Copies of this chain bind each other. A is one copy, B any other.
Amino acid sequence: MTEVSHERGELTARGKSGLGLVETHYVELFQEGLELESGVRFGPITVAYETYGELSPRRDNVILVCHALSGGAHAAGWLPGQKKPGWWDIMIGPGKAFDTNKYFVICSNVLGSCYGTTGPSSLDPKTGKPYGLTFPVVTIRDMVNVQARLLDYLGIARVLCVTGGSMGGMQALQWAVAYPERVRSVVAIATTWRHSAQQIAFNEVARQAIMADPAWNRGDYYGTEGPRMGLAVARMIGHITYLSDVSMERKFGRRLRNRERYGFDFTSIDFEVESYLRYQGQSFVERFDANSLLYLTKALDYFDVTQGTGALTDAFAGSKSLFLFITFSSDWLYPPQQLKEVAQAVRRAGGDATYCEINSDYGHDAFLLEHAAQAPLIASFLQRASEHQFEGDSGEGI
């Protein structure tokens, strides 16, 4: 979902980004191990993270950004030698929605990923080999617990805002429920409070595509090419769900790929949309770990913000945060209705929820593209959250 499409490339041409060069940091946490939702104790855990802007003396200007399935800690600015800025560079930087002239933005790679934080492709210190399937199954709650420890390490007791789209939005919701006293506000975008049967189904097919590839070898493929074909197919499936019918039609329609008539065979490529999908699949293989896709899709499917509380209203009963929910009209992977239900539950629980459905043809990917529509909503919401009296504000900072 952090795929840099052609549009996004145009929107974030180098030079337009105000953050300039940034740096990824690494810290090892949980020497004693983290008790996971599964009951397994796991550690130590290396966490990759980046920060942008400056922490205020009162430490009250922190924004925690959570990434989606294929994102990482590198949310904005440029890393040396890379051709593209971070995955949410259109939203994070001086004068942008998450204004680094005002706020101190933190983004860390989630537990189970392959971009610096410990995951199935990391080396198990006990064996010196990659974990593979011996890596424990992790959940959104586990990811959030790791982020909480990272904030402890950075000396940050409470954040002004936790935000994210898609899987990042689930983490933001989980923060509000698990750490209500640490979250002044939440901006959850293009996400849901739990997966429906159809959402699980798409993930299951992606997992099956990977596991059907003999080169997957039950997750023990490091040092080999790995399940390249299976991972490409899995990504192609995902990619269809990230776009809307309308945006695909506008972008590709039935346009043929470098030809005037059908090829009438199975070796050549007929349609532009086929070429695009294959390209997306292949380029994903170069940058993502197949096992991480298995683990992260499982975390998505397991997520249910009401777990332990029963009803959605009960889940948010303890929260004093301000909420902003943003959905996109053509997002059929995470249809607006699901987040609207959360907004209604927050209000029923006596909370403060703003719900905005942005009219967009970009489908689920809109949260990565529609900065013009999102930015003013978010900027003014953050201003309000900054001024909002929060229970226990005297104890702000650490």
Contact = CB atoms under 8 A, between A and B. Distances in A.
B236 A197 contact: no
Nearest to A236: B205
B201 A249 contact: no
Contact of A214 (B136, B194, B214, B237): B214
Given A197-B248, A240-B198, A254-B197, A204 B273 contact: yes
A273 B208 contact: no
Interface string A265-281: 11000110110011001
A237 B277 contact: no
A251 B303 CA distance: 20
Given A194-B254, A198-B248, A204-B271, 11 more contacts: A38-B262, A133-B266, A201-B236, A201-B248, A201-B277, A204-B274, A205-B236, A207-B266, A266-B298, A270-B301, A332-B332
Contacts of A278: 204, 208
Contacts of A254: 194-197, 200, 304
Given A229-B212, A301-B271, A137 B264 contact: yes
A196 B249 contact: yes
Chain A interface size, under 10 / 10 to 19 / 20 to 34 / 35 or more: 35 or more
Nearest to A252: B197
Nearest to A304: B254
A277 B212 contact: no
Interface of A: 38, 40, 133, 136-137, 194-198, 200-202, 204-205, 207-209, 211-214, 219, 229-230, 232-233, 236-237, 240, 243, 245, 248-249, 251-254, 262, 264-266, 270-271, 273-274, 277-278, 281, 294, 298, 301-302, 304, 332, 335
Contacts of A219: 266
Nearest to A199: B245
Given A133-B266, A262-B302, A266-B294, A201 B233 contact: no
30 contacts: A195-B254, A196-B248, A196-B254, A197-B245, A197-B251, A197-B271, A198-B245, A198-B248, A200-B271, A201-B236, A201-B274, A202-B240, A204-B271, A205-B237, A208-B236, A208-B277, A208-B278, A208-B281, A209-B209, A209-B212, A209-B233, A211-B266, A212-B213, A212-B230, A213-B229, A214-B214, A245-B335, A254-B304, A262-B302, A266-B298
A278 B273 CA distance: 28
Contacts of A40: 264
A302 B262 CA distance: 8
Contacts of A230: 212
Closest 5 CB pairs of A and B: A212-B229, A197-B248, A38-B264, A137-B264, A197-B252
A226 to B, nearest CB: 13
A252 B195 CA distance: 12
Given A248-B196, A301-B271, A233 B262 contact: no
Contacts of A277: 201, 204-205, 208
Contacts of A233: 205, 208-209, 212, 233
